[in-house]
Amino acid sequence: MAAELNEVYSLMIPTVKGNILLPNSNVAEIVPFSNVELFEDQAERPAWFLGHLLWRGQDIPLISIDVISGEEDPQANNRSRVAVAHTLNSNRELPYVAIVVQGIPRLSHVTPENIKSIQDEDLSEAEKLRVTVDNVGASIPDLDKLEEMILAAQSSAA
């Protein structure tokens, strides 16, 4: 019984640079890269803040963790998807964030035995931690920091 309590069902979600790892409970839905409105004029916004996803009648801020990490904007392609993730602070103005991802996520059972922290790498401002799960590398996004960055970008562009 104790082993069951130490397991977190998570999603290993491919990005251009690698993978992000989120608890399954943090991911509201993975949707195709459609119903997306990209900003036409990016001059007043950070390059990682791409636009909005129309999802369930709401405009969800659309971001790229790859761009925050210093990668080029991958642009939409036939592998592009959007991960709609719950924010953590019960902010009614920003209950979700939409993250551009690549490919199909896979379920990952994370336990103390199969997860290892990678300590020797420089983290981007969007990352909380880098890990391996069953020898597959992943970044755990800092959802609090992402929320803070989005709110700051929205207020400076307003």
Could you report the per-residue pLDDT of 15-63, keeping only the tens digit for each?
988 999 999 999 999 999 999 999 887 778 899 999 999 999 999 999 9
Determine whether 54 is exposed, middle or buried from the number of CB atoms within 10 Å of its CB (0-12, 13-18, 19+).
middle
Could you report the per-residue pLDDT of 124-156, keeping only the tens digit for each?
888 999 999 999 999 999 999 999 999 999 888
Contact in structure between 20 and 142 (CB atoms under 8 Å): no
Give pLDDT, residue 41. Answer: 77
2-157 is classed in which CATH architecture? Answer: Beta Barrel (2.40)
Q: pTM for the whole thing? A: 0.90
Contact in structure between 16 and 66 (CB atoms under 8 Å): yes
Contact in structure between 65 and 99 (CB atoms under 8 Å): yes
Domain ranges of the chain: 2-157
- Read off the amino acid at residue 8: V
Give pLDDT, residue 1. Answer: 47
Contact in structure between 10 and 108 (CB atoms under 8 Å): yes
